[in-house]
Structure 1
Amino acid sequence: MVERELEVNADNIKNTMLQQNILVEKLAEVLPEEASQSQLSQLLDQCQNRIKRLGAINLVAIEEYKQQQERKLFLDQQHEELIEALDSLEQAINKIDKETRARFKQTFDTVNQSLNDLFPKVFGGGRASLELTDDDMLSTGVTIMAQPPGKRNSSIHLLSGGEKALTAIALVFSIFQLNPSPFCMLDEVDAPLDDANVERYARLVKEMSAQVQFIYISHNKIAMEMATQLLGVTMQESGVSRLVTVDVEQAINMTEQTLSL
């Protein structure tokens, strides 16, 4: 039993000496060759002070470092994917902006040309045009410049009420011609117009009715004369509305037949 204990102690001493020899060899590599004992003691004190300043050793620091490193790699990958997505979005936005500018310019030119053609028909002369307020197609506004017969070219804001209404009608019809629908409804747009302008407006509607069916509400007799079908709303009894339908062509034929008798 005693011999076994002695053997174990001997092995421990050998291991300790082996470790110390390794440490001595490593220290010998970094220590000055001609250092005195006092210098070595001073160096030892400095090392011990540094160790004390480090504080308690966090035994899970290595594991935490690995976890944080994995998280950093994940976030770096996410960052790269976001950068790629951002680049793709910027390219898509640039493409959309380019297409928007091209289509806006094409639409603007088409509507402007239609306005130049319709305005003289509505006013019996003169001219009108659209002008951009900014060079950037994505943020520009549009100004309507109009010159009725016998007047100076000016913004639509400086026109009279009737002139504004006619100019607006010409612009609406110009936009409508860009992509016409099967029918168009107009609600008392002739209300601010005098008889001469109502007649021009009615002629324009009559001309365009070859391609589009117009449904317009009006109290003006001149506008009613241009219609092919009249639908009137009367109130013979208080609070009770009644619809009256008139085929204008049929009514004219009946009138002519009556007069010929």
Structure 2
Amino acid sequence: MKKQKSDSFSVFGNHIAHLQELIKANLDRFTEPPIGPVGKYVTLPKEFMRFAVAIEVALKGTLRCYLVVNGQDKELLDDLKRQARCQPREAEIIIAQRCGFRYQNLEVPGGDLAAHAMCNVLNVKNDDVFNALIDVCSLESKLLFDDREVAERNVLNGPSGHFRMVQFVSEVYLPNGDKFVVREGNLAYIANKVSRRRSIICEDVESEIRGLEQHFDARQRDLQGLRLQESQLRAESTDLHLYATQEKDRVDNLSRRYHRQCTELHSLEEEFSDQQQEHTLDTTVLEGEISDVQEDLASLEARGLELRKCIAAANQDLNGPLDELEDVNAEENKIAAELNDPQRDANETYKQLTKMKSIEIMSQRQVEASQALAEQLNQHLRSIQEDRERQEKNALRLCTRPANILPRNAYEKRVKQVEHQLASAHQRLNGLSLSELKNDMELKEIKYKTKKANYDKFRQNLLQIRSMLAERKETWDRFRAAVSRRTANEFSEYMRHGDFAGKLKFRHSNECLEITVLQNEKGATSASQMTDMKELSGGERSYTQVALLLALGKITECPFRIMDEFDVFMDSVNRDMTIQLLVEAAKNESKKQFIFVTPNNLSILQQDPMVKVQTMDPPRDRERNSNAQ
């Protein structure tokens, strides 16, 4: 930006300043000095500075272009661009003619919209630059608005789907670079994807530098905050690393203790197994203890025998209560058996009651269903009666009640016929209902009106084209008649040089040409006129053809005229006369080049600076010269 502030060309590219120096050094090689960059001659007033983005989007890359007058200057400027090492998209070239004055009577929208046209907003210092922007970018048809709704209200006409722009308006731009256009009756809104504002139009480098400095300071503050966060995260990372080290040491201590305990447990297991083996093998020591235990067991058995005897004596005393207890249990079982029969009866009764209750519920449900069905049938009957009454009213409205009522099967047959006709019509209409048919008819009416409007428009255009065609054909007929008269006059003039009287008659309706030739001899009458070219001699016919070709060439704007072997069938008199006629005709039209090819001698021609004769060597001489070489 600071470089752009000191160098006014840096905004257009890094190599434009060098290119300008090369252009100044080679100005004498250009047909007209190149004009550029175009943006140097275009400025935007301060009151319209908000439209800078929109204008640069509309002009695209035209502000970086150079203007030349022809292809030769373009090639020279391309060479200078290569020397300045410009990029392919840098300093593009536009060939534009220079008229020396600014275009007038531009096709600008009328009324208040003219003030919104870009050509009336921008200040263009150079008239040729203004004309180039009009030709390339169509500035007069691009409008600028602050608000989209206001723009649509002032620019658009017609309903949605049939939008039309106001006359002489092609695009409408908003301050942020967005635009909208109308394509085939639809409104297309195109958003600007390039958000950064360039300073080619506004040339406000100071504000951009301040904005960039503020942006840089904000980024610096963000960087400092990020660095502070980084230091905090580094401190937390150090603490976490220390904590992880401590935890690792603690886990290592626990692992060592675990392994030590496992080792001690293994040693204790080995010691215990050794002790078991010692006790199992050394049984001789316990033999005395075994004998003592056996004596104790014998005494315990004797004591148990005595206890059994005492228990048997006690059991004899308990036999009476036990028998009574068994009798009570038997009585209890008998009473329980007697109680089971009433319980079974009660269960059977409960089952029957449950069954009857379910039957009652089912019957009630059937009654409710029958009542609902009866109500439904009554409603259906009422609807049928209403339908019958309505149909009867419709029938009475259409016709009177028949005196003779036909049998039912006759009406059923007629109903079937009508239903068949309805089914056929329904199938023919693709199953559309009456409402759908009405909607379809409305759509067809809209399409018909649209087609009719287009037809009327095309018919009006056709009638206008026919009138224009008739007018042009009438003009063309006048031109054709004038050209025919001029050709006939020129033909008569050329024939007069050969002592002939000639006349041409153009039969445009039959697409034929009649040639009448009369020799200027004493005593010649109209009977000596010849209208058939076959009646003329070879020389006369060739002379007549040459005169006709000269007359046709006189009205044809062609810079070259070539005739090959025009004097082949002429005698010497007609040949000399024809050659003199051709030379005089060529000299009279000095701005055109005539080439005549003939195998005959041209020694009769006198030296003339406007006539150049090139004679080829005979074939033998050409072969001899080629062999010699």
Q: Which has the higher strand share?
A: 1
Equivalent position to 1:164, from 531, 536, 541? 541
Distance, in Å, in 2 between the alignment partners of 1:26 and 1:71 is 31
1:208 Cα deviation (Å)?
A: 1.9
Unmatched 5+ residue regions in structure 1?
243-261
1:110 Cα deviation (Å)?
A: 0.6
Q: Deviations over 1:111-152 (max 9, x none)?
A: 01111111111x1x231111134xxx3543211111123362
1:106 Cα deviation (Å)?
A: 1.1
Aligned residue in 2 for 1:177: 554
TM alignment of 1:195-214, pairs within 5 A: 195-210=572-587, 211-212=589-590, 213-214=593-594
Equivalent position to 1:17, from 385, 390, 400? 385
Kindly tell me the number of residue pairs found equivalent between the two proteins.
Answer: 236
Distance, in Å, in 2 between the alignment partners of 1:239 and 1:49 is 111
Aligned residue in 1 for 2:623: 238
1:25 Cα deviation (Å)?
A: 1.5
Equivalent position to 1:193, from 549, 570, 579? 570
| SS at 2:578 equivalent | helix
Aligned residue in 2 for 1:97: 473
- Say whether the 8 Å CA contact 2:518–2:529 is kept in structure 1: yes
Equivalent position to 2:503, from 119, 129, 132? 129
Unmatched 5+ residue regions in structure 2?
1-367
- TM-score normalised by structure 1 residue count: 0.72
Distance, in Å, in 1 between the alignment partners of 2:444 and 2:570 is 74
Distance, in Å, in 2 between the alignment partners of 1:157 and 1:69 is 75
Higher relative contact order (CA 8 A, sep 6+): 1
Aligned residue in 2 for 1:253: none
- Say whether the 8 Å CA contact 1:126–1:147 is kept in structure 2: yes
Kindly report the root-mean-square deviation, in angstroms, between the aligned alpha carbons of the 2 structures: 3.7
1:101 Cα deviation (Å)?
A: 1.7
- TM-score normalised by structure 2 residue count: 0.33
Equivalent position to 2:520, from 149, 152, 167? 149
Distance, in Å, in 2 between the alignment partners of 1:188 and 1:174 is 18
- Say whether the 8 Å CA contact 2:484–2:506 is kept in structure 1: no
State the AA in 1 paired with 2:614: L
1:163 Cα deviation (Å)?
A: 0.6
The answer to whether 1:6 aligns with 2:6 is no
1:207 Cα deviation (Å)?
A: 1.5
The answer to whether 1:215 aligns with 2:595 is yes
Distance, in Å, in 1 between the alignment partners of 2:582 and 2:490 is 15
Distance, in Å, in 1 between the alignment partners of 2:557 and 2:626 is 33
Query: In the superposition, relative to structure 1, how do residues 32 and 229 fare at CA in structure 2: closer, same or farther (>3 Å)?
Result: closer
Distance, in Å, in 2 between the alignment partners of 1:193 and 1:43 is 106
Equivalent position to 1:229, from 603, 612, 622? 612
1:229 Cα deviation (Å)?
A: 2.3
Distance, in Å, in 2 between the alignment partners of 1:114 and 1:149 is 18
| SS at 1:220 equivalent | coil
- Say whether the 8 Å CA contact 2:576–2:604 is kept in structure 1: no
State the AA in 2 paired with 1:231: Q
Of all paired residues, the percent bearing the same amino acid is 12
